[in-house]
Amino acid sequence: MSIFAILKTALNSLSTNKLRSGLTLLGIVIGILSVISLMGMGKGFEKSVTDTIESLGSNLIYITPSRDSKSGTPSVISLKDAEILSEKRENSAIKSVTPELVQMGKINFSNNWKYTQVYGITQNYKSVRNLEIKHGSFISDLHVENMSEVVVLGINTANELLGNRNPVGQFVRINGRSMQVIGVLDEKGGGFGGVSMDDRAFIPVTTAHYRLSTSNNTPGTVALASIVVEAANSDLVNKALLEATSILRFNHKIASDEEDDFEIINQQDVLDTFKTVTQGITIFLGAIAGISLLVGGIGVMNIMLVSVTERTREIGIRKSMGAKRKDILLQFVSESIVLSTIGGMVGIFLGWLTLYFIGQIQFGDDAETFRTEFTLGIAMLSFGVSAATGLFFGIFPALRASKLQPVEALRYQ
């Protein structure tokens, strides 16, 4: 028999009981739909996270305080460290340095208020973090030197507090202290692992320390949450990392046999870590969805076993007329594969449709849509698994049918 004849016979056999075939088909469709939808959402989340990290720059290095392994006492990374790292050196791999002093703050304007992260920074923060100003100006070195009570708002923060007013020149209160708005950032995003850039507020690092901070640090020392170092280019990241490590060890008077009292990682390490986590989430979601596909496969086997029982006399007649064992085997395997293939194709289409509609969902008026990603790889994998499911779960019923003896089959009532 030709492949066309086999497929025609399989479709005719399945169409004799449309309801049962349809319900079995539904199991496969739901399984494929689940795999594509969940993996597509996982892939979309992974792409969103990696794009956000890469948008911050691939040549960044983060320096944070560490804790003493014995006492657990945290070390101090200071503004002085940032200033020393910023000094111009011959053949230096370090392009720019910016400190970060992070604290939570309640920002008030009239009757509106917002609780968000307030960053103490310097002028370099704008270039290191690839930020653009939408209104007004950014924090300058003069603001840092004079401990000026000025603030630059993320665009969401400005909209929530000030509405349609021109924000530049307005006064807001941060933790009860009056600050003049000198600028508003253009939309940036970057909300993974914390508050989005668009929801933050930025003030001079010295103002953050001396005007807002309640921590008890060493007098005259501006303690930081982190220092961000920008390498001259992505090829010099490792050199910049070694250079920063050497400078800080010398500045902190750390002996050659002592451990660093700071932690230092580069942006690629952060990106690799998030990729590992998000890929794990995607695989986990795919495994969960695979369970429904397994249930659909069991449904295929179930209908084929019932079909073998109902068509025992038909099998006997075909064998008595010369049909060989392999013909009977091929007939029932082809039926299960046809069921799974049609279910796979319908499931792929519905999966794409589901991801499209999920991708239109928007959380809040100004929020981005939920990101999804439909890839050819996921579709082909789902289709292959669907066909393999039909083959695997169709073999046992087909073998059972092919082993029936013609005489016994003809006598079956």
Compute the average pLDDT of residues 278-283: 79
| 21 contacts: CB under 8 Å, gap ≥ 6 | 14, 15, 303, 339
Reply yes or no on whether the pLDDT at 108 is more than 80.
yes
Q: Give, for 391, the enclosing helix (H) or strand (E).
A: helix 376-402
Chain-centroid distance, C-alpha 144: 36
Least confident of 173-177, 364-368, 378-382: 364-368
Q: What is the predicted pLDDT for the residue at 19? A: 77
pLDDT tens for each residue of 131-159: 899 999 999 999 999 999 999 999 999 99
Compute the average pLDDT of residues 90-104: 89
Copy the structure tokens of residue 34. 């689940």
pLDDT tens for each residue of 333-355: 777 777 778 888 888 888 889 88
Contact call for residues 66 and 272 (beta carbons, < 8 A): no
Buried b (16+ CB within 10 A) or exposed e, 163-200: eeeebbebebebbeeebebbbbbeebebbeeebbbbbb
Reply yes or no on whether the pLDDT at 231 is more than 70.
yes
Compute the average pLDDT of residues 304-320: 67
Nearest to 287 by CA among 216, 363, 381: 381
Q: What is the predicted pLDDT for the residue at 216? A: 55
| 37 contacts: CB under 8 Å, gap ≥ 6 | 289, 351, 354, 355, 358
Sign of CA dihedral 316, 317, 323, 329: negative
Q: What is the predicted pLDDT for the residue at 192? A: 47
Report how far residue 69's alpha carbon sits from residue 66's, in angstroms, rounded to the nearest whole number.
9
**How distant, in Å, are the alpha carbons of 158, 222, 309, 411 from that of 101?**
21, 9, 74, 87
Question: Concatenated DSSP letters for 18-64?
Answer: HHHHHHHHHHHHHHHHHHHHHHHHHHHHHHHHHHHHHHT-SSEEEEE
DSSP secondary structure letter of residue 78: E
Reply yes or no on whether the pLDDT at 5 is more than 80.
no
Report how far residue 98's alpha carbon sits from residue 178's, in angstroms, rounded to the nearest whole number.
25
Question: Concatenated DSSP letters for 111-169?
Answer: TEEEEEEEEEE-TTHHHHTT--EEEE----HHHHHHT--EEEE-HHHHHHHHTTS--TT
Nearest to 210 by CA among 222, 201, 218: 222
pLDDT tens for each residue of 68-83: 666 667 788 889 999 9
Compute the average pLDDT of residues 227-247: 88
Compute the average pLDDT of residues 223-236: 87
Find the farthest-apart pair of alpha carbons in the chain and give their distance in angstroms, rounded: 103
